């Protein structure tokens, strides 16, 4: 038998596995690396986070990725080069993390790598007749496997699309496995570049589970901080607190068609970007607004799109909300949510024993564990598939 398949077989059969989840999101702030220990699979999964680190990206790398990111006119040669470069670069960062933790690559059973999304195009967004839902993550798994010597599972989103989904949010599977509690209505709210949530019903009814993107998380705030202040983001919401909300602009931002479409739905910076802001300013006659008021209004936009969604879809006075992602540190957004949802109990996922910064990387490690030893999960109308492609080190 092919020795790779032999090795795969023995890893899949191990009772306890050590796996690394890698996430590099739409904010392009860095690579999240979560080393997790798993036993079991599916609803019987037991997991612990052994180590976690975010290795920030250098500015020149960020600029390189930004030059093709969510851009319809991207340079195809650059896409090709970055596909190989990101795979091998992520491999180097994994080796760097393992060295820091004093762990040998041979001790790790698998890497589950999300890759870097460079374009997300559900049918609702591209509206090109005859073309399917589509999404593209680069940073090929073979490069990671060769660089690290560790079995790598990657490119999770394609199977989801092939089986009828939009390729996201994949948080659904991990949120259900790690976040469900019978007797409690829960929302797991991730505020990354894009905000998404998973609703888990107190009665444990799988048909009531909803997992969807909600709208922009930090992506427009970050883009406006870069444009007006040459800053990567609004640290501790300082700029937002120094400005005020412009209602005309806020209402125009919220009037976008995406907010009228039925959930579950997905989106990305292909829609929520500075052109979306410019168009809303033109429509609302607010072109002369100060940069501080723009950042404040964009922060309110993120927060209000989240609270409106929750109020429209769930009984918000009987719900526990667990936040994660970099936006959980944006005090302006969190304060806004607490005011808009006064009876909801809002905490970060630390209250569930899940590091809020590590959550998405943990979710991919968990998807990797499922690829190795799980079974397709039936959750409502979501694709019932096991995702991920295997890359061997030899
Ligand atoms: N102290 C802070 N104050 C305000 N905003 C913060 C703070 N720390 C992080 N952020 C925001 O969080 C962002 C990073 O979030 P995160 O790492 O969750 O993004 P991501 O991994 O790209 O997410 P996703 O894949 O879900 O889009 C930063 O770009 C910034 O906007
Ligand atoms: C295509 C893509 O990369 N989507 C990301 C993005 O970032 C947040 C939101 O948009 C979510 O749909 C998804 O990531 C998370 C991890 C998910 O699939 O659950």
Nearest ligand to the C-alpha atom of residue 231: 1
State the Cα torsion 176-181-182-187 to the nearest 10°.
Answer: -70
Of 290, 317, 344, at which residue does a domain stop? 317
What ipTM does this complex have?
0.97
pLDDT at residue 377, as a whole number: 86
Q: Are 309 and 214 in contact (CB under 8 A)?
A: yes
Can you give the pTM of this predicted structure? 0.96
Q: Are 70 and 28 in contact (CB under 8 A)?
A: no
pLDDT at residue 92, as a whole number: 98
63-70 LR contacts (CB < 8 Å, sep 24+): 65/28, 65/116, 65/118, 66/28, 68/118, 69/28, 69/118, 69/269, 70/118, 70/119, 70/120, 70/268, 70/269, 70/270, 70/273
The number of domains in the chain is 2
Domain match, 306 and 369 both: no
Domain match, 189 and 158 both: no
With b meaning 16 or more CB within 10 Å and e meaning fewer, what string describes 69-82?
A: bbeeeeeeeebeeb
Query: Mind listing the pLDDT tens digit for each residue in 84-125?
Result: 999 999 999 999 999 999 999 999 999 999 999 999 999 999
Whether residue 342 lies inside any domain: the answer is: no
Whether residue 331 lies inside any domain: the answer is: no
The CATH number given to whatever domain includes residue 219 is 3.30.420.40
pLDDT at residue 100, as a whole number: 98
Q: Please give all residues whose beta carbon lies within 6 A of any atom in ligand 1, as ranges.
A: 23, 25-27, 29, 190, 192-194, 218, 221-222, 233-237, 325-327, 329-330, 360
Of 299, 317, 335, at which residue does a domain stop? 317
Domain extent at residue 76: 3-174+355-391
**What is the C-alpha separation between 283 and 89, in angstroms, rounded?**
43
Query: Mind listing the pLDDT tens digit for each residue in 273-306?
Result: 999 999 999 999 999 999 999 999 999 999 999 9
**Three-state SS at 16:** strand
Q: Are 177 and 211 in contact (CB under 8 A)?
A: no
Domain match, 166 and 191 both: no
Domain match, 51 and 118 both: yes
Task: Transcribe 199-232 into DSSP letters.
Answer: EE-TT--GGG-EEEEEEESSHHHHHHHHHHHS-S
pLDDT at residue 318, as a whole number: 85
Whether residue 385 lies inside any domain: the answer is: yes
* Residues of each annotated binding site: 25-32
Per-residue confidence at 315, pLDDT binned at 50, 70, 90? confident
Query: What token pair was written down for 166?
Result: 């939009």
- Best CA proximity match to 21, nearest among 178, 136, 189: 178
Domain match, 286 and 191 both: yes
Nearest ligand to the C-alpha atom of residue 26: 1
Q: How far is CA 376 from CA 12, 19, 157, 359, 389, in A?
A: 15, 19, 15, 21, 15
Whether residue 272 lies inside any domain: the answer is: yes
Domain match, 170 and 190 both: no
Q: Residue of the nearest CA to atom 1 in ligand 2?
A: 120
Of 289, 317, 345, at which residue does a domain stop? 317
Whether residue 337 lies inside any domain: the answer is: no
Whether residue 341 lies inside any domain: the answer is: no
**What whole-number percentage of the chain has pLDDT above 70?**
100
Domain match, 135 and 26 both: yes
* Residues of each annotated binding site for ATP: 25-32
**Three-state SS at 172:** helix
Q: Please give all residues whose beta carbon lies within 6 A of any atom in ligand 2, as ranges.
A: 25-26, 117, 120, 135, 167-171, 192-194, 196, 213, 266, 268, 360
């Amino acid at each position: 038998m092919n020795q790779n398949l032999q090795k795969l077989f023995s890893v899949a059969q191990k009772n306890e596995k050590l796996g690394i989840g890698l996430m590099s999101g739409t904010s392009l702030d860095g690579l999240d690396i979560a080393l997790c220990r798993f036993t079991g699979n599916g609803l019987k999964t037991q997991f612990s986070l052994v180590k976690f680190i975010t290795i920030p990206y250098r500015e020149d790398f960020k600029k390189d990725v930004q030059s093709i990111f969510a851009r319809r006119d991207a340079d195809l040669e650059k896409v090709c080069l970055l596909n190989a470069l990101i795979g091998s670069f992520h491999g180097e960062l994994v080796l760097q993390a393992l060295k820091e933790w004093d762990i040998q690559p041979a001790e790790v059973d698998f890497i589950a790598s999300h890759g870097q999304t460079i374009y997300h195009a559900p049918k609702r967004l591209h509206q090109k007749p005859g073309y399917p839902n589509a999404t593209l993550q680069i940073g090929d798994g073979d490069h990671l496997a060769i660089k690290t010597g560790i079995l790598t599972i990657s490119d999770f989103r394609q199977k989801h699309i092939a089986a009828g989904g939009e390729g996201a949010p994949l948080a659904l599977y991990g949120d259900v496995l790690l976040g469900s509690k019978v007797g409690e209505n829960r929302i797991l709210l991730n505020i990354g570049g894009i905000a998404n949530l998973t609703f888990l019903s107190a009665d444990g009814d799988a048909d009531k589970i909803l997992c969807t993107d909600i709208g922009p998380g930090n992506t427009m705030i970050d883009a406006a901080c870069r444009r007006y202040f040459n800053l990567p983001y609004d640290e501790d919401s300082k700029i937002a607190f120094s400005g005020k909300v412009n209602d005309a602009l806020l209402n125009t931002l919220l009037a976008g068609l995406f907010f009228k479409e039925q959930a579950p739905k997905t989106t990305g910076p292909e829609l929520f970007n500075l052109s979306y802001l410019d168009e809303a300013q033109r429509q609302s006659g607010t072109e002369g607004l100060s940069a501080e008021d723009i950042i404040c209004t964009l922060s309110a936009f993120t927060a209000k799109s989240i609270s409106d969604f929750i109020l429209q879809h769930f009984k918000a006075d009987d719900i526990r909300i667990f936040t994660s992602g970099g936006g959980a540190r944006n005090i302006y957004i969190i304060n806004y949510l607490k005011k808009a949802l006064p009876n909801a109990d809002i905490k970060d996922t630390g209250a569930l024993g899940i590091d809020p910064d590590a959550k998405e990387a943990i979710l991919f490690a968990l998807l990797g564990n499922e690829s190795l030893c799980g079974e397709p999960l039936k959750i409502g109308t979501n694709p019932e598939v096991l995702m991920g492609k295997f890359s061997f080190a030899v």
